[in-house]
Amino acid sequence: MFETIFVAAVLLLPAVILWLIPKTRRATGSGVTAWKTVPFGCLTMFLIPEILWGLYCWFAEENGIVLSGIQILFPLIGIPAGIVVIVRLRNRIWKRYNAEGPRSNVPFYLVFFGLCLAFFWISVIGTGLYYYWLIRSGKQYHGRWRTYPVTKQYDTELAFQERSIHPFLAEYDYRIRFRRNGKDTFQNLWCNTGGKTYFNIFKLKDGRLLFSDKDQDYLVDLRKQEVHMAVTVGPKVYAGRLPEGYFTSFGRSESQNGKIFLEIDHHRIEAVPVTDALKDRTYFGCITTAFHPASKKLYQPVSKRR
């Protein structure tokens, strides 16, 4: 919300000043008319994709329907809408204040590209100052949670959620959301400290889902609304249930009797063998900027970073 208000203020400032001054309000020259109209068109081009994206996210979350690639259409709607706003405002000004003589469209192009360039640099500088303030104040940057519905099984809706934790780098918080009978339960996953989001999802024979990305593997149980982290120890794979809340450290230990434990923050969690359960699995889909079922996006392997 803050970002949207900031962008609107930057884009509209020149136009608002010109409209408030009686002399420039009645002026009909191409240059001054461009500064009174183009900012409103630019704001339209910016707001329409934002509004449509918000409506789409709400619709997808409420109905569990994901339309891959639909976000590409939003700017294609916003850009012509902005051009219409500029042209209609221009014509209204020239008609109302009885503009005479030929008029050039060149100032409109110059103002448009000038605003785009200025907004880019203002955004870069503003983001840098905001991040600097966060560091100095000891606070952490958090974007808004984005929700990607995955499936509904066993009377439970499963969704993957992510939010940015850096103003411009690809770093994210991840979590799983279970929804049953209108009640939400969340399970945090490991933070992604670098790189785009890409999870492959597999369905196991026992009904659980395996989420696998470049960092970790997770077994998601919709019946129990639990998430277990899988680790490889020699030729075998073990899985232990993730603790509640946010966690930052991980280790592994083995007792004298051969049991494997996950050391997550101050939690010591016993891990059980899951090697056999992982053998019989089928590709279910993947998560990028949305969930893509196997019928829509072919399997692409993801290499582990470690």
The per-residue pLDDT for range 254-281, each reduced to its tens digit, is 776 778 888 888 888 888 899 989 888 9
Instruction: Note whether 61 and 132 are same-domain residues.
Output: yes
Claim to verify: residue 154 and residue 288 sit in the same structural domain = yes
Q: Convert the pLDDT of each residue in 82-94 to its tens digit.
A: 999 999 999 999 9
- Check whether residue 127 and residue 256 sit in a common domain: no
Same structural domain, 17 and 106: yes
Same domain, 122 and 170: no
Same domain for 200 and 228, yes or no, is: yes
**Does 304 have pLDDT greater than 90?**
no
At residue 167, the pLDDT reads 66
Q: Is 90 exposed, middle or buried (0-12, 13-18, 19+ CB in 10 A)?
A: buried
pLDDT at 110: 93
| Domain boundaries, position 61 | 2-137
What are the pLDDT digits (tens) for 125-178?
A: 766 666 666 566 656 677 788 889 999 988 999 999 998 887 667 788 899 999
User: Which tokens in the block code for residue 220?
Assistant: 């998601």
Residue 305 scores a pLDDT above 80: no
pLDDT at residue 3 is higher than 80:
no
Per-residue pLDDT at 190 exceeds 70: yes
Q: What is the pLDDT of residue 60?
A: 65
SS3 state of residue 202: strand
213 in the same domain as 122: no
Of the residues 105, 137, 169, which one is the last residue of a structural domain? 137
The confidence score (pLDDT) of residue 51 equals 86
Q: Are 206 and 190 in contact (CB under 8 A)?
A: no
Residue 108: name the closest of 89, 127, 129 by CA. 89
Instruction: Quickly list DSSP for 242-259.
Output: PPSS----EEEEE-TTS-
Residue 287's pLDDT band (boundaries 50, 70, 90)? very high
> Contact 42/14 with Cβ under 8 angstroms?
no
306 pLDDT more than 90 = no
Element (H, E) at 272: strand 267-273
Instruction: Give 220's strand partners.
Output: 209, 227
Specify whether 169 is located in the same domain as 258: yes
The pTM of the whole model exceeds 0.75: no
CB 11 within 8 A of CB 35: no
126 or 73: which carries more pLDDT confidence?
73
Task: Give the residue, 200 or 2, on which the prediction is more confident.
Answer: 200
User: Which of the two residues, 3 and 9, has the higher pLDDT score?
Assistant: 9
